[in-house]
Amino acid sequence: MSASVADDKHLHRLILFSDAVFAIAITLLAIEIHPPEHWNGVGELFRLMGPKLTAYTVSFAVIGINWISHRRTFAHLLRADGVLDVLNLLMLGLVALLPLGTELLWEQGGIEASRVYVGLVTAIGVAHALSWGYAAFVGKLATPALSAATKWFILVRVALLPGLMCWLVFTSVATGQPWGYLGIAGVMVVLAVVGRLLKRAGA
């Protein structure tokens, strides 16, 4: 077996395993939701399950966004190695804790539970940034065509975006004001513009 074929298989298996962890974590979110014992009518059902469904929706979006981000960053890699395996496992271990963090939100709620949850989401972003930073700058596992500016842009994006987005959502939910959602829209516009400029510069 040639080195290139072995590299392809290593990276492919790493991505498949990561996809499985994301899929299991997002499935466990729904499995942990149980209806109330007593309810009268659809309106009351949704009222009683409101905190659970809200936490489920937020966590579904968090896991989905992290999966998309993981897919995009790993699409820039040509191969994987043992160090990347360990760093990726660190991130996946944190992703696997999201169902627990979600249950904490709907069972206890409040500021402290929200802080724990946002902290967990932030840690996932930092762990993802560590794996990308190693792959792009230390391990030299990324495609050579990727510019240094693009590598740094991806690093900052994956490190800050999950926690920042989660915090902005919780801010709007807690205050009942749209400023958090407007902040998310502004961040997305800035990221889109910077990404397009980097793509044009590399063309």
Q: How far is CA 85 from CA 18, 26, 49, 119, 182, in A?
A: 10, 22, 39, 23, 37
Q: What is the CA 179 to chain-centroid distance, rounded?
A: 22
Tell me the residue range of the domain where 137 lies: 3-34+47-202
Closest CA to 9 of 88, 85, 80, 75: 80
In a domain, 145, yes or no: yes
Q: Quote the pLDDT of residue 203.
A: 46
Number of domains in the chain: 1
User: How many residues are recorded in the chain?
Assistant: 203
Q: Quote the pLDDT of residue 137.
A: 95
In a domain, 40, yes or no: no
How far apart are alpha carbons 62 and 74 in whole angstroms? 18
pLDDT tens string 23-70: 999 999 888 777 767 777 777 777 767 778 888 888 898 999 999 999
In a domain, 132, yes or no: yes
Q: Quote the pLDDT of residue 24.
A: 95
pTM exceeds 0.85 for this model: yes
Q: Quote the pLDDT of residue 98.
A: 94
Q: CB of 125 within 8 A of CB of 165?
A: no
In a domain, 41, yes or no: no
In a domain, 162, yes or no: yes
Longest dimension (CA), the chain: 65
- In this structure, the number of other CB atoms found within 10 A of the CB of residue 144 comes to 7
Residue ranges of the chain whose pLDDT lies below 50: 203
In a domain, 39, yes or no: no
DSSP state of 142: B
